Amino acid sequence: SMLCVRGLPRLAYVRYLSTKLPVTISNTPDKVTHTGQTWDEKDWRLQRFDVAPKMVNPNVAATMIAEKAAMDCGHDSVVYCDGGDAALGHPRVFLNLDKPGLHACGYCGNRFYNSHVTKSAEDMAINHLNC
């Protein structure tokens, strides 16, 4: 019938696109991701990287945030973080800075401290995550 006739050219076209060219496999070592994910050379999960190499981004957000200096909030015991621009979707997160140490925003990772309470290098080594 008409349905079969219309379907045949499509099947022929799909078949025409298929090829029997050999696939070249690169012998480059598997790159390790920031989470430590790596596979053995013969692991079947590496087949998705036969045509193109595995791309690993070396700029991990946690490393980039750790490189940013913590903000001194003076003697304020409560501050808020909005990520710099609230219009970008970061909610206003209030942080209690009464304890000594660095207090990180649970949303973006920016760090704050109260210079009245946090005085020594040992105090700066203490980290608090406020969610």
pLDDT of residue 78: 93
Higher pLDDT pick, 126 / 93: 93
The pLDDT value given to residue 61: 77
Give me the pLDDT at residue 97, please: 92
CB neighbour burial string for 30-51, b if at least 16 within 10 angstroms, e if fewer: beeeeeeeeeeeeeeeeeebee
The pLDDT of residue 39: 74
Strands 111-113 and 71-72: parallel
Kindly report which listed range (54-68, 77-91, 102-116) carries the lowest average pLDDT score: 54-68
User: Residue 17 has what pLDDT?
Assistant: 47
Q: In what order do the strands lie in the sheet with 102-105?
A: 71-72, 111-113, 102-105, 127-130
Quote the tokens at residue 124.
Answer: 């700066």
pTM: 0.55
Q: What is the pLDDT of residue 49?
A: 65
Mean pLDDT taken over the chain: 75
Specify the residue for token string 């750790």.
66
